[in-house]
Chains A and B, each alone.
Chain A
């Protein structure tokens, strides 16, 4: 009963967002959808970098796998479904499911060997995996190679994106407070101690990595049906770094922090456009880089640290009493 209630609340909220988006000018509503896609990516990476204490630098690779597999399903398996409104949504969900499956499979295959590595070595290995995925797609002529993939049917709406984002946030939140979530947090806090207590650390890390890859792949699928065009160069090292910055700024381990940081970092370049016309220099990425360095020196735990948005107020109230 509890789950049904949550589900209805989510659908209601998503419908309200969709209504709100319809009122907004198209530029803002598209920006909002993009924010949500980036937030899904940030929450997905937070599963690995924040909650299980590993460091992955290849999230863009899993996003690319999701984007290309869902676009291929829509283009090659389900052509013509977009003729009716219902068909478009059904096709979108099938292609997103395919993306999730492909992402999970890739995450499992990559995670099983690489998660035995630690710290910076894992970071470099995942970076390598991301680059290998991009180079392989670049050489796949069936999906356009370096030319890119055109003509993907548009299906991503604010409603679907918000629904998936909220579902993911809820799922992550519930997961953290479950038995498995606690085991994962134990791995983050001290891997050797967790292993001594009987937690199968590798298995938990691989599970988190697989789930993270699947979620990133779904974001990729949404991205493909949002832009209707894919190019391997959108999924390079810079995209992975961008997602890492979101997680770090929001606070590694804080789900709501990731969402907030994703929104801020997607909107910031747009908000800084006037600055660019004043200085005639594109300083936006310079500001990003400085933000990351200063954050690490001044507040390394991120905006929210490991706490959630709603826990900040709880903490303050308790302190006063």
Chain B
């Protein structure tokens, strides 16, 4: 039973990372009806930005909470800019074209980021600096909570609260919801649609970058292709919760993380990557709108 609780804790920490990434998928899907295939690669961009920032700050030799926050901020800003650039140069020229073309472009952007990453950062994995030396915060028998897990969980939860506040309480958030509802109507009432879409990309990318740094803290290894698998799983989490729904992405992320921890703990770790896709296909077949999504019938 203790093993079960430990897996549950590990799964929740992993799940909070998935939830952060899934939020980016859901935001972009809500506003553009686009599955942003390149979103997982922004996790990689964020992780590398965090890596270089912490090397420049010397955060690995003298870790401190301020430096950790600074690294997180730099990574989020860097990935946010990359996200805006991607939207401006790859997706904006394609407004109003069939969704399939957008999807193919997104696959192209993802390929571009992965291969640019391999060119600039090298294909060999690099060790992420130890920003937060692991300490057991709490222990009871075999069950332990490390400070890393607590920080990952806390940061993710904090960012989710901030996002919820932006979307529900601010003018910009109201504009985002309006654009998600209808581009034309939003433009008619004077909302700068392109600016709002760029902002959405920036927010989603920053969340992905935060996830990248949190991954660097808990699994200290980054490589240019790390975003593919993580991105896929977070996408499955978003679909599981109901793509387009913010609450759904959070719940889906946690479910995904816990299920994966259980498969690794009780089954075989080689099947952990297949699990996400099995869940995906089952969800798509039996409840395509996800747990919190609304099903929209097709009209002629």
Contacts and interface: CB of A to CB of B under 8 A. Distances in A.
A124 B29 CA distance: 14
B111 A241 contact: yes
Q: For the complex, would chain B's binding face be called helix, strand, loop or mixed by DSSP majority?
A: helix
Given A124-B280, A132-B274, A293-B90, A241 B115 contact: no
B265 interface: no
Contact of A292 (B111, B270, B285, B298): B111
A12 interface: no
A114 B281 contact: yes
A60 interface: no
A128 B284 CA distance: 11
Interface in A281-311: 281-283, 285-286, 288-290, 292-293, 296-297, 300
15 contacts: A55-B103, A114-B284, A124-B280, A129-B281, A131-B232, A131-B274, A132-B277, A192-B298, A282-B119, A286-B112, A289-B109, A289-B111, A289-B115, A293-B108, A297-B90
A285 B101 contact: no
B264 interface: no
B99 A120 contact: yes
A271 interface: no
B107 A139 contact: no
A16 interface: no
Contacts of A288: 111, 115
Interface in B96-110: 97, 99-101, 103-105, 107-109
Nearest to A301: B101
A271 B19 CA distance: 43
Nearest to B97: A300
Contacts of B277: 127-129, 131-132
Contacts of B165: none
Contacts of A286: 112, 115-116, 119
Nearest to B93: A297
Contact of B228 (A124, A237, A293, A300): A237
A120 B35 contact: yes
A138 B93 CA distance: 41
Given A119-B100, A125-B284, A138-B270, 4 more contacts: A57-B107, A117-B288, A120-B103, A282-B119
A244 interface: yes
Nearest to B90: A293
A128 B35 CA distance: 15
Contacts of B160: none
The 6 A-B residue pairs whose C-beta atoms are closest, nearest first, are A128-B277, A292-B108, A289-B112, A289-B111, A135-B274, A293-B108
A105 interface: no
* Residue with the highest number of chain A CB atoms closer than 10 Å, among B90, B93, B111: B111
A286 B224 CA distance: 13
A170 interface: no
A278 B285 CA distance: 51
Given A241-B107, A282-B119, A55 B281 contact: no
B148 to A, nearest CB: 29
B61 interface: no
A125 B119 contact: no
Given A117-B284, A125-B281, A283-B119, A135 B300 contact: no
B271 interface: yes
Contact of B270 (A139, A282, A290): A139
Contacts of B281: 113-114, 125, 128-129
A135 B273 contact: yes
A129 B276 CA distance: 11
Contacts of A292: 104-105, 107-108, 111
Nearest to B33: A120
